[in-house]
């Protein structure tokens, strides 16, 4: 980890640069404040010197920012991919990516908590909003997170540099990730970068308040970003066994980010027989809304089928691409990969998407993939599926475990011989004393005792939905 101190850089800049930085900082004591207006002013009025080295574009206003924005692949036509971890959840995600040695990208960590920021492996770090938060965090307040990111807009822009593609990883529901991620996305789009957000939604047991904050943050981020992938943490509970280790469970969730970044980096940077370039990726993801990025791999006799089906399944997210309007898939295999296998992959993906979808495909011969085929899939435009997936975890469902389980379950309970429960029917306005409920079989005797018991049971079951002025069974008793 690089040291935080960079006094030499401050000395070279001089007081003139410090004065300039001070003039463009927002007045944190001024009220009322519009973070969006301040951000717009900063981004529009202060443009970076794109001809200077990236280390010279780093601001010196933040002593916890490390000015090491170096390009690991400094070629003239290299696509600059930046992965930004915002808040604690985003920083954990990029730390695990760095442990996996994902190449071809730059990592930047941003947080309002200086103590947590010091633990990241990312070489580039920004402590957001030190004037406002004093490096002590956002306290779970999304407005504080947004204000902190707005205050550090110049440092964020310098860290992004001339990025072509920016991934933003954050956890929704807290302060920094929820509030700062939309600001980072807005700055990235202002410099012309393609922006992809990969965010997590809180567990159900974290409460309705945190869920509401997450949904608001998700809406704010959606308006500032090209493509968005959401990872409900509740999927961890429904996917893994009870004895699954916590670290292993979160590692699988972070693989969603890893697969997206690694897949796109390989598609762009590895030339193929049928080549896919960054312009193709941009055409699929630009203003795409909901997106899915997954990697499927197969071995043996049915390797093409296995790879295609694994990619289509969406991995951990279990989100189908059916109905997608824009799709890019790249097929990688050894020198023994056949044209028939490429056609098989294309047919299986084509049968799972919209007939009128725009399709881009590539093929790469990789000698390292012996007896293996790998399919990298990028799909976008699944608006209806996205809406249903978010609906499955919306706040008003948190009080009803039955509704949540039904939204994730595709196996009907009738498979075990049980009949489905019909929805409750409204109570009859004025039923006759001996009238049987419509839901009861005609074989039941119409004795007064039976009629009374069944009517009473029906009315008790309907009290939760609708309470009549006088229950039917009481009216029946009065008439007797």
Please choose, from the candidates 333, 321, 221, 196, the residue with its C-alpha nearest in 3D space to the C-alpha of residue 274.
Answer: 333
CA distances from 117 to 4, 136, 452 (A): 11, 11, 69
Which tokens is 164 given? 């072509």
436 is in an annotated binding site: no
Angle at 188 between CA 147 and CA 29, to 5 degrees: 15
248 is in an annotated binding site: no
CB 285 within 8 A of CB 196: yes
CA distances from 465 to 395, 458, 460, 475 (A): 20, 12, 10, 20
CA 382, CA 174: separation in Å to the nearest integer? Answer: 27
Please choose, from the candidates 208, 187, 22, the residue with its C-alpha nearest in 3D space to the C-alpha of residue 108.
Answer: 187
Q: What is the CA radius of gyration of the chain?
A: 28
176 is in an annotated binding site: yes
CA 434, CA 448: separation in Å to the nearest integer? Answer: 7
At residue 448, φ and ψ (nearest 5 deg) are: -60, -40
User: How is the beta sheet containing 124-127 ordered, strand by strand?
Assistant: 124-127, 106-111, 81-86, 165-171, 194-201, 227-232, 289-299, 372-380, 326-333, 358-365
Residue with tokens 């093409």: 304
172 is in an annotated binding site: no
The string of DSSP codes covering 57-109 is: SS-SS-TT-------SS--TT---EEEEEEHHHHHHHHHHHHHTT--S-EEEE
Per DSSP bridges, beta strands 106-111 and 124-127 are parallel
Q: Residue 393, Cβ neighbours under 10 Å: how many?
A: 23
272 is in an annotated binding site: no
298 is in an annotated binding site: no
175 is in an annotated binding site: yes
480 is in an annotated binding site: no
300 is in an annotated binding site: no
139 is in an annotated binding site: no
334 is in an annotated binding site: no
Residue ranges for the known binding site are 88-92, 175-177, 206, 210, 254
Residue ranges for the known binding site for GTP are 88-92, 175-177, 206, 210, 254
């Amino acid at each position: 980890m690089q040291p935080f101190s960079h006094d030499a850089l401050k000395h070279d800049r001089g007081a003139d640069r410090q004065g300039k930085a001070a003039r463009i900082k927002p007045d944190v004591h001024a009220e009322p404040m519009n973070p969006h207006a301040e951000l717009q002013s900063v981004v529009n009025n202060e443009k970076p010197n794109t001809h200077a080295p990236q280390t010279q574009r780093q601001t010196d206003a933040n002593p916890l920012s490390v000015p090491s924005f170096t390009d690991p692949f400094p070629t003239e036509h290299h696509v600059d991919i930046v992965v930004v971890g915002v808040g604690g959840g985003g920083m954990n995600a990029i730390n695990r990516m760095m442990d996996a040695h994902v190449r071809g990208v730059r990592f930047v960590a941003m947080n309002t908590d200086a103590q947590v920021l010091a633990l990241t492996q990312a070489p580039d770090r920004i402590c957001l909003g030190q004037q406002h938060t004093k490096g002590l965090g956002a306290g779970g307040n999304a407005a504080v997170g947004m204000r902190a990111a707005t205050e550090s807009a110049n440092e964020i822009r310098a860290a992004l540099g001339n990025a072509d593609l920016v991934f933003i990883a954050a956890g929704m529901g807290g302060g920094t990730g929820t509030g700062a991620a939309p600001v980072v996305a807005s700055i990235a789009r202002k410099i012309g970068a393609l922006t992809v957000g990969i965010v997590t939604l809180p567990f159900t047991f974290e409460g309705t308040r945190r869920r509401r904050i997450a949904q608001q943050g998700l809406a704010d981020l959606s308006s500032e970003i090209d493509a968005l992938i959401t990872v409900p943490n509740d999927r961890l509970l429904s996917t893994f066994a009870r004895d699954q280790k916590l670290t292993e469970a979160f590692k699988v969730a972070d693989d969603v980010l890893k697969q997206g970044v690694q897949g796109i980096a390989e598609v762009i940077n590895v030339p193929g027989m049928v080549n896919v370039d960054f312009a193709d990726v941009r055409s699929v993801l630009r203003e795409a809304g909901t997106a899915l990025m997954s990697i499927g791999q197969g071995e043996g006799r049915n390797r093409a089928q296995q790879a295609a089906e694994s990619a289509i399944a969406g991995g951990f997210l279990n989100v189908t691409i059916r109905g997608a309007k824009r799709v890019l898939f790249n097929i990688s295999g050894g020198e023994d990969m056949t044209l028939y296998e490429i056609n098989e992959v294309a047919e299986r993906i084509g049968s799972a998407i919209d007939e009128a979808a725009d399709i881009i495909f590539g093929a790469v011969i990789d000698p390292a993939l012996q007896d293996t085929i790998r399919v990298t899939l990028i799909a976008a435009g699944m608006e209806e599926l996205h809406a249903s997936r978010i609906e499955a975890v919306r706040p008003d469902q948190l009080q009803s475990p039955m509704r949540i389980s039904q939204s994730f379950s595709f196996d009907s309970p009738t498979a075990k011989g049980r009949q489905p429960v019909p929805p409750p029917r409204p109570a009859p306005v004025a039923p006759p004393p001996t009238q049987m409920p419509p839901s009861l079989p005609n074989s039941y005797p119409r004795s007064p005792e039976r009629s009374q018991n069944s009517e009473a049971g029906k009315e008790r079951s309907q009290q939760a939905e609708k309470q009549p002025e006088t229950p039917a069974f009481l009216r029946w008793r009065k008439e007797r």
